[in-house]
A = this chain, B = another copy of it.
């Protein structure tokens, strides 16, 4: 279905039948328009966006891929951008404005609705990875003293301005958060009930400076759909909704996967090649150093290799399996830390487990490799040396793959940075050194 429509839009764009396209766009959900614009080439991205009315454009703009959004913002004039931003929820508006240059920011903030502009100015001050950076200021706050009909009236007045009213927040005369009011409870309330009578006061809230990862954990743990944000004195500032938290969760999952392999989180599929080269180069330079270190260790045994060149043929087996086993352990442990399954109490249990798994698998795989080496090379001694080196290396892989992220966490360094490069360096060094070392001692002396 969808792709047929997409093909149709592309054909209509080619034949410049803009009125037909506008008709199709007017019937689509903004999220579907986002989907299509992301997939067009850049000229048509600009063209299609230009056809949207400001209200739809405001829903579409914030959800486009970063690079597409940048392109479109550059392409439209400041007046239209101002009108589009004026239609946005405060959190989205602040995100867009934070990417603009100073002149545009000033111009836009001066042209939009005064209240909006003040809210956005406030939001721009918060760290974008904090609760303040995630929240929107569009909320319905009611006074604890208000009676039922006044409460209903307050909701009616704000209904257009606030999307997805899950709850109404109850505050005191100083705007300090007292609790929340379920809309349903108003259906059953008595005329004389006040917000104070109906309030649910045992609720979750966060301070504006709470880290976004922590915010996501609170949503996860307590199954929330929105969460009020307060300042140090408990004044209500805004709310975070679950859809923004899902974006955080996706972002953090990408980040962890990326850090494990030394990638920068902005290095996406369609980041420009030059950007990607720049972002990956420092890490590859580091990798060159670790590789030279590994090569130096092999160099110590160059004499042995000269005497027995089969060692060079077999040594990649020891290093390869150790590296992969180490990365497996690293993945289990860092994911366990990210999901909150690892704590100080059970760290040793986890390390002991990984070490035993490494040892047992090392013995099983090492024995098989011994046998294969014996069958291929006809020398039982070389098989045994290979097997023992593999056992040692997989033991080390289990130990390092679990110990390093744990140590990093206790040093307050993100454990996901214990990337594959460090682990493979260690298993390479240990693998080559143990295999070539044992061979030198038992086969050559």
How many copies of this protein are present in the complex?
2
Q: Would you call A421 an interface residue if the criterion is a C-beta within 8 Å of the partner chain's C-beta atoms?
A: yes
> Are B155 and A424 in contact, CB atoms less than 8 angstroms apart?
no
Chain A interface mostly: helix
Does A16 interact with chain B (Cβ within 8 Å)?
A: no
- In the bound complex, what is the Cα–Cα distance between A254 and B333 (angstroms)? 11
Choose the segment among A105-113, A131-139, A313-321 that binds chain B (4+ C-beta atoms closer than 8 Å): A313-321
Closest to A262 in B: B328
Q: Mark A135-160, 1 if CB is under 8 A from B, else 0.
A: 00000000000000000100110010
* Residue ID in chain B nearest A221 by CB atoms: B31
| Inter-chain contact A258/B320, CB cutoff 8 Å | no
Size category, A interface = 35 or more
Task: Choose from B38, B283, B365 the contact partner of A288 (Cβ within 8 Å).
Answer: B365
A317-B288 contact in complex given A249-B250, A336-B268, C-beta closer than 8 Å: yes
A225 with B188: CB separation less than 8 A: no
Contact stretch, chosen from A49-57, A69-77, A301-309: A301-309
Whether A117 sits at the interface, judged by CB under 8 Å, is no
Residue of B nearest to A267 (CB): B332
Known contacts A164-B225, A257-B257; A312 and B317 CB within 8 A of each other: no
A411 part of interface (Cβ distance < 8 Å): no
**Given A263-B328, A277-B357, A305-B312, 18 other A-B residues pairs in contact with their CB atoms under 8 A:** A39-B345, A225-B225, A225-B242, A249-B253, A253-B253, A254-B339, A269-B342, A280-B361, A284-B325, A284-B361, A290-B320, A291-B320, A291-B321, A295-B316, A311-B312, A312-B312, A323-B323, A324-B421
